[in-house]
Chains A and B, each alone.
Chain A
Amino acid sequence: MKELEGGVAVVTGGTRGIGRAICEELAAGGASVAVVATGEDRAAKAAGELPGDGHAGFGCDVSSVEACVNLIKRVEDDLGPISILVNNAGITRDNILVRMKDEEWQAVLDTNLSGAFYLMRAVSRGMMKRRTGKIVNVSSVVGLTGNRGQSNYAAAKAGLIALTKSVAQELAGRGVQANVVAPGLIETDMTAVLPDDVRDAMLGQVPLGRLGAPEDIARTVRFLVGPGASYITGQVVVVDGGMVM
């Protein structure tokens, strides 16, 4: 029997990049995966491509509290009680502080931070009642170090870390664990748009000398939601080839 069999996992931003790899790993671990993306069609298509049965795709704009509440209801109706939540959905609207528009700031905070809060709040009662649940929030090394041109993104990702630690403390007594994975430079659509010189400069900061693959993050998430991590909560696992030590 696989270690996640019988579990239901919700993964936001699950159709591309790191989120897609997370869906694949959790499905490989035996979980039923609710693939969440802004477009329901794309989510359904991605869910259909996962290994094993019991997966489904759901459309949800995580920056909307109503949409998040509704999503959790729909997933529980369709797939059963949620045992795993992975908040991975994230956007960037990079700009230097002096030029950053209110909308750029707000959009990043709404999706990357508030979305995680809405979904954690919505799943927490059920997890508390069942005395079990695993939450993993995907932050970023940028949430630890800051990054020029990403004050909004860095603030949201840092906020996610403190949010996770607070929730971990509140829910630990109810058997619910919450941890953070903080990826470094990973090969995705989000990093593909970086200019070559920026990429090369960043790569120079990585002791292991390569970009990470989405699977590097996904395997860490699978570990954190599995039985091997039963004594780990409130932690930030940095997966970045040694970039931040």
Chain B
Amino acid sequence: MSEIASRVREIIAQELGVEMDKVKDDANFVEDLGADSLDTVELVMAFEEEFGIEIPDEDAEQMQTVGQAIGYLNEKE
């Protein structure tokens, strides 16, 4: 697993309060990991802080699964 992917997974587990083994690539934040709409906003804010980038709302809306977040952040790094 790439370093970015593992950082992303850790943030997701921590922000959403779920076990690491639940944070699979195809896991949907809302449907599988129990996030509500504000949780997803906070998750994006945590990504912004960790990677020192700004994620526009349009991009944030496209990030609905763990895999999508890893893909997006891989591209940005």
Binding site for B on A (CB under 8 A): 125, 128-129, 170-171, 173-174
Q: Which residue of B lies closest to A173 (CB)?
A: B38
- Bound-state CA distance A128–B42 (Å) is 8
Instruction: Sort chain B's interface into a size bin.
Output: under 10
Note all chain A residues with C-beta closer than 8 A to B38: 128, 170-171, 173-174
Q: Check B45 for interface membership: any CB of A closer than 8 A.
A: yes
- Bound-state CA distance A128–B41 (Å) is 10
Note all chain A residues with C-beta closer than 8 A to B42: 128-129, 174
- Bound-state CA distance A170–B37 (Å) is 10
Note all chain A residues with C-beta closer than 8 A to B41: 125, 128
What sequence of 0s and 1s flags, for each residue 36-47 of chain B, a beta carbon within 8 Å of any chain A beta carbon?
A: 001001100100
Interface SS of chain B: helix
Binding site for A on B (CB under 8 A): 38, 41-42, 45
Q: Which residue of B lies closest to A174 (CB)?
A: B38
Note all chain B residues with C-beta closer than 8 A to A129: 42, 45
Closest 8 CB pairs of A and B: A129-B45, A125-B45, A128-B42, A170-B38, A174-B38, A128-B38, A173-B38, A129-B42
CB distance from A160 to the nearest CB of B (A): 22
Q: List 10 A-B contacts (CB under 8 A).
A: A125-B41, A125-B45, A128-B38, A128-B41, A128-B45, A129-B42, A129-B45, A171-B38, A173-B38, A174-B38
Note all chain B residues with C-beta closer than 8 A to A173: 38
CB distance from B45 to the nearest CB of A (A): 6
Supplied contacts A125-B41, A128-B41, 8 more A-B pairs, CB within 8 Å: A125-B45, A128-B38, A129-B42, A129-B45, A171-B38, A173-B38, A174-B38, A174-B42
Q: Which residue of A lies closest to B37 (CB)?
A: A170
- Bound-state CA distance A60–B45 (Å) is 27
Note all chain B residues with C-beta closer than 8 A to A174: 38, 42
- Bound-state CA distance A171–B45 (Å) is 15
Note all chain B residues with C-beta closer than 8 A to A171: 38
Note all chain A residues with C-beta closer than 8 A to B45: 125, 128-129
Q: Which residue of B lies closest to A170 (CB)?
A: B38
- Bound-state CA distance A55–B66 (Å) is 44
- Bound-state CA distance A125–B42 (Å) is 8
- Bound-state CA distance A211–B42 (Å) is 45
